Structure 1
Amino acid sequence: MRTFLAIIFIISATVKAGECLVCIECKNSTNPDCAGNEVTCGTCMTTVAEIDPKNGSSKSLSVEKTCNLNPEICNITYSISGSKSRVRYTVKCCNTDLCNKEAPEVSPWNVTSTGLQCPACYEPNAETCVANTPVQCTGDENRCLVFSGKFPQSGKCETIAFQGCASELVCNNFGYLYPDNALCPRGSLNCTTQTSSSYVS
């Protein structure tokens, strides 16, 4: 009888822990959907990244389906805008078996100005860049972001310097939003609501 009760307790604890969902795990850098292996998770998650090159070219989309490891990073949207492109991320979480199998619906891009203008620049293989172009922040971008350091690019850690607009979520949760960055040495990240660094006209 005691053994039976112990088994029931273990099963109950496992269910409460939420580690019994079956989720899809995959990644596609050229398509908003992917198919992959089934894995056991507490919560299923899908992240869609949209890149708008700002030069008239078509937007590109990529997707990653996996387990969610941080309950605060669920059902959110955040973005970063620079002088040459902007990137928006949409994160969806769900709690039923294989619920992240289908491609998620992505809302239209919010291009309403926030009234904030930030200095903007981007330079690969460099620790600094000259912000010679202003960029208008849109949607929920309410911070000016300055980043310098190593960032994962095509599976490798590469040095980049960036200035532009960002959602507050990026500033407060950088390590959670970009978990691959843990593979690279920590860079310098600074956010402000002020256009503290002037751009060169």
Structure 2
Amino acid sequence: MASLLAVVCLLSGLLAPGYAISCAQCLTTTSTSCGSSALKCASNLVCISIYQSTWTKNGERKQFIRGCGRKRDCDKSGVFSIPESKYRFSATCCDTSSCTPKTPVLPDFNFNLTTKTCTYCVSSTDTDCKSEQVMNCTKNEEKCATQNSIITAGSNKQKSSVRGCASKSYCELKEQKSESGGIKTNIVIKCSACTALYSALTLLITVTASIMANVF
């Protein structure tokens, strides 16, 4: 699930002619507050705070990030999961120089599986991974999502892809682009509806009830 941490690319803090505001720039894994240095933002950006977390069977890792971001990414939160790994994020913004966005609140992890299903896969070498493996989604995951990432540094290009269950709000992120320190990142999130399947037990009960109705 490490590739999902690329949502940090909401931070499109580019040094551009005619910058509008300055925002704190920082990253911490120990709190939800930081702000050691200032970053000049492009004229179409605002100050953004992102709180994100990745859960695996080995524990949970959290990151809090501040920088420049796009207005359309403000006040968003969402979840994404593959088997044995879950990711969640929340983003808040403010639009005046040196302002401090309100602290983002992470959405709750949900571990209660439903009959909604999606295929899942992870690839660190290509985009748009495909798989016939199926996973069950949780109640707050209404969509099947594929996140394709391309990170370019000079002549080097790294492609990756992950497919799984996601919340509707995660899908609203759509395409994310950024460039910082000579590294370009392009992330595309594509979503579709989950497939609703009856469990074997539900199917057995339905068939049995039908037989009983015909017999009696």
TM-score w.r.t. structure 2 length? 0.59
CA deviation map 1:40-71 (0-9, x unaligned): 56642100110011x1x22101122012332x
**What corresponds to 1:123 in structure 2?**
123
Give yes or no for contact 2:78–2:107 (8 Å, CA) kept in 1. Answer: no
Give yes or no for contact 2:50–2:104 (8 Å, CA) kept in 1. Answer: no
**What corresponds to 1:136 in structure 2?**
137
**What corresponds to 2:67 in structure 1?**
66
**What corresponds to 1:80 in structure 2?**
80
The letter of the residue matching 1:51 is: T
The letter of the residue matching 2:93 is: C
**How far apart are the structure 2 equivalents of 1:137 and 1:162?**
18
Following superposition, the deviation at residue 88 of structure 1 comes to: 0.7
Following superposition, the deviation at residue 116 of structure 1 comes to: 2.8
**How far apart are the structure 1 equivalents of 2:168 and 2:54?**
19
**How far apart are the structure 2 equivalents of 1:147 and 1:105?**
23
The structure-2 alpha-carbon separation of the partners of 1:76 and 1:105, relative to structure 1 and needing over 3 Å to count, comes to closer
Identity over aligned residues, as a percent?
A: 18
Give yes or no for contact 2:175–2:186 (8 Å, CA) kept in 1. Answer: no
**How far apart are the structure 1 equivalents of 2:30 and 2:139?**
25
1:44 to 21, 42, 47: 47
Give yes or no for contact 1:120–1:164 (8 Å, CA) kept in 2. Answer: yes
Following superposition, the deviation at residue 157 of structure 1 comes to: 4.7
**What corresponds to 1:146 in structure 2?**
146
TM-score w.r.t. structure 1 length? 0.63
Root mean square deviation, CA, Å? 3.6
**How far apart are the structure 2 equivalents of 1:183 and 1:40?**
18
The structure-2 alpha-carbon separation of the partners of 1:36 and 1:172, relative to structure 1 and needing over 3 Å to count, comes to same
**What corresponds to 1:106 in structure 2?**
105
Give yes or no for contact 1:124–1:160 (8 Å, CA) kept in 2. Answer: yes
The structure-2 alpha-carbon separation of the partners of 1:86 and 1:179, relative to structure 1 and needing over 3 Å to count, comes to farther
Give yes or no for contact 1:144–1:194 (8 Å, CA) kept in 2. Answer: yes
Give yes or no for contact 1:129–1:162 (8 Å, CA) kept in 2. Answer: no
Structure 2 gap ranges (5+): 1-19, 197-216
Give yes or no for contact 1:75–1:93 (8 Å, CA) kept in 2. Answer: yes
**What corresponds to 1:163 in structure 2?**
163
Partner SS, residue 70 of structure 2:
coil
The letter of the residue matching 1:166 is: A
**How far apart are the structure 2 equivalents of 1:89 and 1:43?**
18
**How far apart are the structure 2 equivalents of 1:184 and 1:95?**
24
**How far apart are the structure 2 equivalents of 1:39 and 1:164?**
35
Structure 1 gap ranges (5+): 1-18, 197-201
Give yes or no for contact 1:23–1:101 (8 Å, CA) kept in 2. Answer: no
Following superposition, the deviation at residue 167 of structure 1 comes to: 2.5
**What corresponds to 1:193 in structure 2?**
193
